[in-house]
Chains A and B, each alone.
Chain A
């Protein structure tokens, strides 16, 4: 069994446990929550503009109404 396994090339994909993933996500959220006000405003405006671009793209592609796209984004 061990010989067969060693003969197969193993992918070098890093994995982490769900707990590690949860901790990493929590740390990222805490870091973003603690940003200075002006940096947060920059981020909020970038996200808003990206959202508007996405809505325009949806409309161009005929993927439903802008209002629905907007509602989905707001979530």
Chain B
């Protein structure tokens, strides 16, 4: 089973209204721009719908998945056709924007949306773990990003100070 089968399930769920528009983020999205590495999860970002009590919840989506026979979990992720899928909310303005401005691609014949490389870079900067900084350096060196667009995103989401610190710490690739 490949990722295309997983994406077909997600697209069906979206077409049937069980989930809103989604986009792939995290390591899988990053590896489509830079040198691929090891990851175990497929991070799927989406706007969660409010439940009857007004709370944002993925419960209706999980109920729909259970109806289709998907009930095996691997830590926080649910197994869908061989991929451990983690459904994540667009919990920050940066993620919301990344979701809105996601790029359409075709993976093994199946349409999907992934975060733009500039948004993934800004998310790395915001998250700020050592592996995120390493990934940000890879984006700069390997993916030919639109640095003007990236810096606009950085400024819009109050990451300018973090970006200045990053440039001072890692001056070589810039």
Give the interface size bracket for A toward B. 20 to 34
Contacts of A47 in B (CB 8 A): 36-39
Interface of B is mostly: loop
- Whether A41 sits at the interface, judged by CB under 8 Å, is yes
Is B38 touching A73 in the complex (CB atoms < 8 A)?
yes
A contact residues around B131 at 8 Å (CB): 74-75
Which of B47-55, B65-73, B135-143, B162-170 is near enough to bind chain A?
B135-143
Of chain B, the residue at the smallest CB distance from A33 is: B142
- With contacts A37-B105, A41-B2 taken as known, whether A29 is within 8 angstroms of B40 at the C-beta atoms is no
Q: Is B35 among interface residues, defined by CB-CB distance under 8 A?
A: yes
| A44 contact set on B, CB distance < 8 A | 3, 28, 31, 36, 39
Q: Given the complex of chains A and B, what is the CA–CA distance between A52 and B32 in angstroms?
A: 21
Judge whether A59 is part of the interface by a CB distance below 8 angstroms: no
B62 contacts the other chain (CB 8 A): no
Judged by a CB distance under 8 angstroms, whether B34 is at the interface is yes
Query: For residue B84, which residue of chain A has the nearest CB?
Result: A48
Smallest CB gap from A30: residue in B: B142
C-alpha gap A32/B78 in the complex (Å): 29
A33: which of B35, B106, B107 is its contact (CB, 8 Å)?
B35
Could you tell me if B40 and A37 are in contact, using CB atoms closer than 8 angstroms? no
Q: Given A37-B105, A41-B3, A44-B31, do A74 and B143 touch, yes or no (CB 8 Å)?
A: no
Which residues of A line the B interface, CB within 8 A? 26, 29-30, 32-33, 35, 37-38, 40-41, 43-45, 47-48, 50-52, 67, 70, 73-75
Name the 4 nearest CB pairs between A and B, nearest first: A33-B142, A32-B35, A47-B38, A29-B35
Could you list which residues of chain B lie within 8 angstroms of chain A, going by C-beta atoms? 2-3, 27-28, 31-40, 75, 105-108, 131, 138, 141-143
Q: Name 15 interchain pairs, CB-CB below 8 A, sorted by A.
A: A29-B138, A32-B35, A32-B36, A33-B138, A33-B142, A37-B105, A37-B106, A44-B31, A45-B3, A48-B39, A51-B38, A51-B40, A74-B27, A74-B38, A74-B131
